[in-house]
């Protein structure tokens, strides 16, 4: 993997505080980095894998990880309460969307709170997992990013083929993988320096395509997930999603899941 590292370094910001660990196949980059974090490793350790055989997404879902994608996680030690960990996820969303635009010249957008879409399809999922210290603050966090770089051979699994897409329908151009990896971390660490920056929340708001859209806000009742119709008003400076229900009542969601309503 030394050759890949050298190609990434050509695009990487010179002062970036990261150390790369390249793997062919892992269970899950997040799982491994949580173990490394527990052992006391310093912030900035980035693991990049070509395949995962036990990738994980939000809400305990599996994350399919064929070798046509980019799977990477970074170990962070932010000084913040766990209630603000969403800022890490949102900074990553902006970083990925901007990196895709830099590499392809085409716009990518964000679906609140942690998915990046390109050409109307989901091409990236983001998962931040925090481990707490004794006082309830974050001891360390692991930020995982999975990007569908190319359409996998044989297409996407039937469970996700209606929503999943790739940055490139065929093979990615030479160097695109390495440039995309570098551009994600170039941008992420710029935002990470000040996660409360008004500029970050402004960019996230501009990139979120849900504003003004009719959505379903999912609530779990008696083990069943039920979608409640609403319209998205805005994303606030704390990355909460403000919605208005059909009753006229408004609510700002700080977590949860929404989907775009289709007629």
Answer positive or negative: Cα dihedral of 222, 227, 231, 237. positive
Find, among 63, 114, 65, the residue nearest to 85 by Cα: 114
Which long-range CB contacts under 8 A does 239-247 form with residues at least 24 apart? 239/86, 239/87, 239/90, 239/112, 239/113, 239/201, 239/204, 241/112, 241/113, 241/210, 243/215, 243/217, 245/217
What pLDDT was estimated at residue 129?
96
* CA nearest neighbour of 43 among 67, 16, 77: 77
Q: What is the pLDDT of residue 43?
A: 98
Domain residue spans in the chain? Answer: 2-207, 214-260
Rounded to whole angstroms, the Cα distance separating 135 from 128 reads 20
Q: What CATH architecture does domain 2-207 belong to? A: 2-Layer Sandwich (3.30)
CATH value of 214-260 in 3.40.50.720, 3.40.920.10, 1.10.3720.10, 2.30.30.100: 2.30.30.100
What does the pLDDT read at residue 60? 47
pLDDT digits (tens, 9 = 90+) for 89-98: 999 999 999 9
Q: What is the pLDDT of residue 54?
A: 65
pLDDT confidence of residue 5: 82
Give the per-residue pLDDT at 52: 84
Query: Mind listing the pLDDT tens digit for each residue in 152-179?
Result: 877 777 777 788 999 999 899 999 999 9
Q: For 139-153, write each residue's pLDDT tens digit.
A: 999 999 999 999 887
Residues in the chain with pLDDT < 70?
Answer: 1-2, 54-66, 263
User: What is the value of pTM for the model shown?
Assistant: 0.92
- pLDDT at residue 263 in the model: 54
> Angle CA(69)–CA(177)–CA(153) in degrees, nearest 5?
40
């Amino acid at each position: 993997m030394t050759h890949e590292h050298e190609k990434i370094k050509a695009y990487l910001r010179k002062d970036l505080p990261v150390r790369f660990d390249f793997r062919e196949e892992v269970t899950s980059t997040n799982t491994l980095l949580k173990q490394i974090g527990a052992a006391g490793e310093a912030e900035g350790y980035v693991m990049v894998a070509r395949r995962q055989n036990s990738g994980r997404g939000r809400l305990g879902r599996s994350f399919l990880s064929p070798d046509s994608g980019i799977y990477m996680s970074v170990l962070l030690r932010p000084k913040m309460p766990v209630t603000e960990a969403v800022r890490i996820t949102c900074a990553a969303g902006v970083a990925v969307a901007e990196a895709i635009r830099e590499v392809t010249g085409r716009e990518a957008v964000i679906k609140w709170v942690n998915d990046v879409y390109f050409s109307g399809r989901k091409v990236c999922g983001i998962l931040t997992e925090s481990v707490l210290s004794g006082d309830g603050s974050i001891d360390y966090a692991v930020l995982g990013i999975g990007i569908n770089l190319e359409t996998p051979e044989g297409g996407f699994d039937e469970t996700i083929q209606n929503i999943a897409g790739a940055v490139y329908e065929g093979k990615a151009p030479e160097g695109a993988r390495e440039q995309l990896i570098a551009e994600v971390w170039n941008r992420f660490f710029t935002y990470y320096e000040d996660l409360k920056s008004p500029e970050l929340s402004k960019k996230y708001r501009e990139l979120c395509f849900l504003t003004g859209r009719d959505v379903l806000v999912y609530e779990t009742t008696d083990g069943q997930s039920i979608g409640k119709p609403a319209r998205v008003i805005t994303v606030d400076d704390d990355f909460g999603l403000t919605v208005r229900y059909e009753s006229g009542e408004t609510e700002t969601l700080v977590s949860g899941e929404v989907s775009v309503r289709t007629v």
